[in-house]
């Protein structure tokens, strides 16, 4: 039988996030509030402390974060990370490839969200080879604009309840609609293929066929070319965990040999 795809389990993506410690206009430190339109997100906190502020069907909430915390949320949850000191997180993203392709929408003020050209200009950052200070300035400006919209949203949710988020959700859907055909192709090649592989494996196992076990393999994700990049919430260190070539037997033997005592 055909070997299952070798991408990271579940069609997910992983990254290491060092949350911004830059002060914000409201006296806190942290990242840009935003939501994801198609993907859930999970956190495994590995260091420091902080909070996750959210707006959702449950209203406005705040969730403490400390080393060992495991927390996740569904698409549509507006979230803002607050760094109270040294906050570092391993982030697990559903639907690898979709967040990178624009699945997220910032909580800019409504007049910006209503205009795709203004939104694109507000969300854009300088080229990756641009002056570092210029990039950082642009990231801070983008974050502070998202915080402005977030503050208005939070006030409206407090006054009107979760229905106050409906217009944001509509704006977000309109902003990403044209990207969906490309997302679907990515999803079909990753997540859906993985589910189909599991369905075939279970059917074969039920019939006594364990032939897929003969193709077992080990894969190593490759760190991206840059050690970090500016993300929405902090500095991201990412790995390529899409389908990879198996680790060669000679490499495996070399690792095992290097660990022997002489």
Residue 85 has pLDDT above 60, yes or no: yes
Classify residue 138: in a domain, yes or no.
Answer: yes
In a domain, 1, yes or no: no
Structure confidence by residue, pLDDT tens digits, 111-141: 999 999 999 999 999 876 678 889 999 999 9
pTM: predicted TM-score of the whole model, two decimal places: 0.88
**How confident is residue 34, by pLDDT bands cut at 50, 70 and 90?**
very high
Gap between the Cα atoms of 73 and 130, Å rounded: 34
Whole-number Cα distances in Å, 179 to 7, 99, 182: 23, 11, 6
DSSP of 5-52: P-SSGGG-EEEEEEE---B-TTS-BB---EEESS--EEEEEEEEEEEE
Establish if 2 belongs to a structural domain: no
* Block residue for tokens 């939070």: 154
Three-state secondary structure call for residue 71: strand
- Contact call for residues 77 and 35 (beta carbons, < 8 A): yes
The answer to whether residue 3 is domain-embedded is no
- Indicate if the pLDDT at residue 100 is higher than 50: yes
Average pLDDT, the chain: 89
Does residue 4 belong to any structural domain of this protein?
Answer: no
Residue in this structure with the two tokens 């624009």, named with its chain if needed: 102
Give the residue among 12, 41, 42, 8 at the shortest CA–CA distance from 241: 8
Residue 181, CA distances (Å) to 52, 89, 101, 173, 178 in order:
32, 31, 11, 14, 7
Does 26 have pLDDT greater than 50? yes
Is residue 46 a part of any domain in this protein?
A: yes
Structural domain span for residue 148: 9-258
Q: Looking at the domain assignment, is residue 47 inside a domain? A: yes
Q: Is residue 186 part of a domain?
A: yes
Helix (H) or strand (E) holding 198: helix 193-206
Residue 259 has pLDDT above 50, yes or no: no
Give me the phi and psi of 64, to 5 degrees please. Answer: -70, 145
Say which CATH number the domain at 238 has. Answer: 2.60.120.10
* Helix, strand, coil abundance in the chain, percent, nearest 5: 40, 25, 30
Q: pLDDT value at position 221? A: 76
In the predicted structure, residue 245 carries a pLDDT above the cut 60: no
Q: Report the alpha-carbon distance of residue 126 to residue 135 in Å, rounded.
A: 6
Question: What's the domain count of the chain?
Answer: 1
* Residue 161: pLDDT over 70: yes
């Amino acid at each position: 039988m055909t070997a299952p795809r070798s991408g990271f389990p579940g069609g997910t993506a992983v990254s290491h996030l060092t949350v911004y410690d830059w002060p914000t206009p409201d006296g806190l430190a942290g990242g840009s509030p935003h939501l994801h339109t198609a993907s859930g997100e999970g956190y495994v906190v590995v260091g420091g402390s902080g909070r996750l502020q959210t707006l959702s069907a449950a209203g406005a909430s705040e969730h403490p974060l400390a080393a060992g915390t495991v927390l996740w949320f569904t698409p549509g949850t507006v979230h803002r990370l607050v760094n109270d000191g040294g906050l570092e997180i391993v982030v697990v993203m559903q639907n690898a490839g979709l967040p990178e392709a624009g699945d997220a929408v910032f909580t800019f003020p409504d007049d910006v969200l209503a205009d795709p050209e203004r939104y694109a200009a507000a969300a854009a950052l300088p080229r990756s080879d641009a002056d570092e200070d210029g990039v950082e300035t642009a990231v801070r400006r983008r974050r502070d604009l998202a915080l402005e919209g977030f503050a208005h949203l939070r006030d409206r949710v407090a006054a009107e309840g979760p229905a106050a988020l409906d217009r944001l959700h509509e704006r977000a859907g309109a902003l990403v609609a044209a990207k969906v055909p490309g997302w679907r192709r990515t999803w079909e090649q990753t997540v859906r293929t993985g589910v189909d592989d599991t369905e075939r494996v279970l059917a074969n196992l039920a019939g006594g066929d364990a032939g897929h076990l003969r193709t077992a393999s080990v894969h190593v994700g490759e760190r991206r070319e840059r050690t970090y990049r500016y993300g929405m919430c902090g500095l991201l260190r990412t790995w390529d965990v899409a389908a990879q070539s198996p680790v060669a037997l000679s490499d495996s033997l070399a690792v095992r040999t290097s660990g022997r005592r002489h």
